[in-house]
Amino acid sequence: MTRRHYAVTLQQASEESPTLHMLTAMTRDSSDRLKAIELLLPAGLRQSVQAGPIDGNTWCLLVKSNAAAAKIRQLLPALQAHLRSRGWEVNSIRLKVQT
């Protein structure tokens, strides 16, 4: 195994490592999903939501409070339908409250 003694960018590292490449792609996909639904979220809640992990057809949103999660839970059917209309196969959206 050859050891490198020079710096590489994150992009270079992700292109050379299949695992990092997959993680980078999943992170980008999750961020793209959040951008797609952002306008469907009430303006006051947008800062309370972050893109989370994708597990098959389930996507997770990270939410800052229980109150924000309760409101977003009401919007889940519309959010899922919007994502499906944009080409993502999302059967469910999970909410995880960050403490």
CA distance 15 to 37: 29
Mean pLDDT in residue range 15-29? 85
Mean pLDDT of 39-47: 95
Segment 37-44 shows an average pLDDT of 96
Tell which wins on pLDDT, 21 or 89. 89
Pair 27, 19: CB distance under 8 Å: no
Torsion of CA 47, 50, 51, 55, to 10 degrees: -140
Q: What is the average pLDDT score of the chain?
A: 91
95, exposed or middle or buried, with CB in 10 Å at 0-12, 13-18, 19+?
middle
The pTM score is 0.82
- The residue written with tokens 């590292």 in the block is 13
Domains of the chain plus CATH, in order, are: 10-97 (3.30.300.180)
The pLDDT of residue 86? 96
Res. 64: pLDDT tops 90 = yes
**Cα distance between residue 96 and residue 83, in whole Å:** 19
